[in-house]
Amino acid sequence: MKNEFTIILPSKGRLREKSLNIFKKKKLKILSAKGERDLIGHVNLKKFKIGARILYLHAREAITELANGTGDICVSGMDLLKDSDPNIQKKIKVYKSLNFGHADLFICSPIHFLDCQTMLDVSEIASDFIKNKKKPLKIGTKYKRLVEKFLIEKNVKNVEIVESKGATEAMCRLSQVQLIGEIVSSGKTLFSNDLRPLKKDGLILKSSAACMVAKKSLNKKGIKKVLSLF
């Protein structure tokens, strides 16, 4: 089949489920030679006379690989796109925001930090921290770029960002950091870990899943037909 496209989908979690639903609703079957755990599949878009390869990757990796040219289209989170390197971002176009994966990126503090409710408090606590403890206030996050930019905008100085690879919510309880910058959807995980978002002015980004397309692939014949699936 001519014009083979590569569509990258999230490899796990709710984003994977909801992305697969898009195909189910269109009655398109994704075939995987090695069963459910196969990271490569195929979907036959007969009516468009197009073949599409499905690649399952981690949502953050999906964006990198889209920019690298491994894929033509991907489903991933807007938060992850905005946090990626500017050189990656400029190679990607957001085709459509999808109605799932809604989450907000917030600065969150332990519930016991009663005095910390706004970013102005964060700024003052950070300044007390450096004055009294001679070390910067630490903020743990998986979203280093976005958090860093946000802190600069809010004129928060004397802060060190600690990159987290997972379980960011546990960092405060382990006293590794004082605050975290984390995605909040229902808020249950935060609550279970004695954390709360700074609702007043700690919102960094409102995010949802999105269908993204590599700018290079926009000239490929048939791309519009494939995009119309989303």
Give the Cα separation of 40 and 11 in Å (integer): 10
The tokens describing 134, both together, are 């001679």
Coil, helix or strand at residue 187: coil
Q: How far is the CB of 120 from another protein (least distance, A)?
A: 5
Rounded CA Rg of the chain: 20
Q: How far is the CB of 178 from another protein (least distance, A)?
A: 5
136 neighbors 130 (Cβ within 8 angstroms): yes
Give me the numbers of helices (H) and strands (E) for the chain, helices first please: 8, 13
Residues 6+ away with beta carbon under 8 Å from 205: 78, 79, 82, 104, 105, 146
Instruction: Kindly list the distances between the CA atom of residue 115 and the CA atoms of 104, 130, 153, in Å, as whole numbers in the listed order.
Output: 23, 17, 21
Closer Cβ to another protein, 41 or 197, answer by number = 197
Q: How far is the CB of 200 from another protein (least distance, A)?
A: 6
- Beta-carbon-side half-sphere exposure of residue 50 (alpha carbons within 13 Å): 21
Closer Cβ to another protein, 51 or 136, answer by number = 136
Closer Cβ to another protein, 97 or 124, answer by number = 124
Closer Cβ to another protein, 63 or 177, answer by number = 177
Coil, helix or strand at residue 194: coil
Residues that bind another protein (CB under 8 A): 110-115, 117-118, 120, 123-125, 128, 132, 138, 149, 152-155, 157, 172-173, 175, 177-179, 196, 199-200
Closer Cβ to another protein, 62 or 126, answer by number = 126
